[in-house]
Amino acid sequence: MSEKRVAAKDYENPEDKTPSLSLKEALKLAYPEITEKDGLLYYHKKPIYESSVMTFLDTDTATEVKNQLDATSGSFADVNQLYDVKLTPKMNFTIKLASLYDSAESDSPLGNWIYTDQVDGGNTGKKQYQSADRNTSLIFSSEAKSKLNKNKAYYLSMYMKADSDTEPTIKVKGQNSTIASKKVKLNNKRYQRVDILVKNRGKNPIDRISVKGDSKTNVYWDDITITDISSIKPDKEIRETNKDHNMAIDICEGITDKEIQEMYKDYSETKNGHYINAVTFKNIKLLKKDIKKYRVETVQRYGFDTKKIRSSYSIDNNGNVKVNLLDHIETDENIIKIYVITKDGRKIQIYGK
């Protein structure tokens, strides 16, 4: 992890003489090792331009970024994308470099794309991938697979568009079964970023990506990244790194509330008649060090609510954790919510009935 601070202009203070800086300019200033080629940035020869990384923002920074992107006049009228954003005090950006990246400029470093053409154009650079086939896929090479750690969570990201309105399905397949699937709506107006959360489990590691078209409409994609997000710095910590007039830029790893909720979506219930006695969450071993407690909140049939917290349950050999509701409540409640409490104090809802 590397954190740098850069002085930021307060646009609401007419007396502030701090020079105006975009995020792109700030990166080059804060990290002299960053180089630029054809308008694209590289950090220690690794791509760090906007479409090759994942960028995480705290709530206040996200609001300010949205306001600048929406502006049609004034100081922010020329802000069209994230790296154009002009820095203001208290902003914080966390930039995560990709574990794997395919720019579509030459032979794929990820493996072999089948039923796929490499054509002129693209989101960045001079080339992009194209196909209308229903059997288009990328078969990962052994070298690419070796760069993905087992039992970690990753984001697959890619920039996509099409010749006309269409809805291809993107699937990430493991050696034994499909890991993740997402149908995306595309058009011919612009490239749009598609992000898919993927768990690289030891028993079903990532093996291939498929892009299932309609056999008629050409779909284009570029800037394919796979980024490790299983240790992303939590939102609260990012906010607390900066309490002065500067803004902070981190290049590091971490996990957000949304990713934690995604990891808890695979569960089963143990019932006694109409009542739920326990909920078993599956394949969450990689969160073992992050989750310290579970909180159960309920509303009983007679209107009395309960809120009880207990230390984190142990994870079994299969990476599953069983939350025994009888440790928290009786069995006649009709509204149940389960939360995790992380080591940094965040309370995140993972289940609700």
Encode pLDDT of 294-315 as tens digits.
Answer: 888 876 655 445 677 878 788 8
Say if residues 258 and 122 touch (Cβ distance below 8 Å).
no
Q: Which of 121, 129, 229 is nearest to 170 (CA)?
A: 129
Residues 6+ apart with CB under 8 A from 349: 261, 337, 338, 339
Sequence-distant (6+) residues with CB within 8 A of 303 are: none
**Torsion angles phi and psi, residue 255, rounded to 5:** -140, 140
Sign of CA dihedral 208, 212, 216, 217: negative
SS3 86: strand
Whole-number Å distance between alpha carbons of 246 and 124: 31
pLDDT at res. 234:
39
pLDDT of 343 reads 78
CATH 3.10.20.110 location in the chain: 2-97+234-251
CATH top class, domain 102-228: mainly beta
How is residue 183 written in tokens?
């149908």
User: For residue 300, what pLDDT is reported?
Assistant: 60
What pLDDT does residue 5 have?
87
Bridge partners (DSSP) listed for residue 341? 293, 347
pLDDT at 214: 94
For the chain, the first-to-last Cα distance in angstroms comes to 39
* Count, residues in the chain: 353
- What pLDDT sits at residue 233? 41
Tokens for 5? Answer: 């601070």
Reported as a single tens digit per residue, the pLDDT across 11-39 is 999 999 999 999 999 999 999 999 999 99
Per-residue pLDDT of the chain (353 residues; tens, 9 = 90+): 467 889 999 999 999 999 999 999 999 999 999 999 999 999 988 999 999 998 888 888 889 999 999 999 999 999 999 999 999 998 989 898 999 999 999 889 999 999 999 999 999 999 999 999 999 999 999 999 999 988 888 999 999 999 999 999 999 999 988 999 999 999 999 999 999 989 888 888 999 999 999 999 999 999 999 998 864 343 333 333 333 345 554 443 346 677 788 888 889 999 887 788 889 998 887 677 778 888 888 766 554 456 778 787 888 888 889 998 887 765 455 678 899 988 777 888 999 87
d(Cα 205, Cα 153) in Å, to the nearest integer? 11
Report the C-alpha gap between 349 and 291 in whole angstroms: 12
**CATH 2.60.120.260 domain span(s) along the chain:** 102-228
Which residues face 172 on adjacent strands? 180, 209
The pLDDT score that the predictor gives to residue 147 is 94
SS3 313: coil
Specify the pLDDT at position 119: 97
Burial class (CB in 10 A: 0-12, 13-18, 19+), 189: exposed
Amino acid identity of 206?
A: I
| Confidence (pLDDT) at 256 | 67
Q: Which CATH class is domain 257-352?
A: mainly beta
**Spatial separation of the C-alpha atoms in residues 110 and 156, rounded to whole Å:** 12
- Which structure tokens are listed for 243? 């309490």
CA–centroid distance for 301 within its chain: 39
Q: Where are the beta strands (DSSP E) in 85-243?
A: 92-97, 100-102, 111-114, 117-120, 127-131, 136-140, 152-162, 169-174, 178-183, 192-200, 206-212, 219-228
Domain with CATH 2.60.40.1790 in the chain: 257-352
Tokens of 35: 């180089």
DSSP-assigned letter for residue 315: B
* 3-state class (DSSP) for residue 286: helix
- pLDDT tens readout for residues 225-246: 999 886 434 333 333 333 334 5
What CATH topology corresponds to 2-97+234-251?
Ubiquitin-like (UB roll) (3.10.20)
What does the longest C-alpha to C-alpha distance in the chain come to?
69
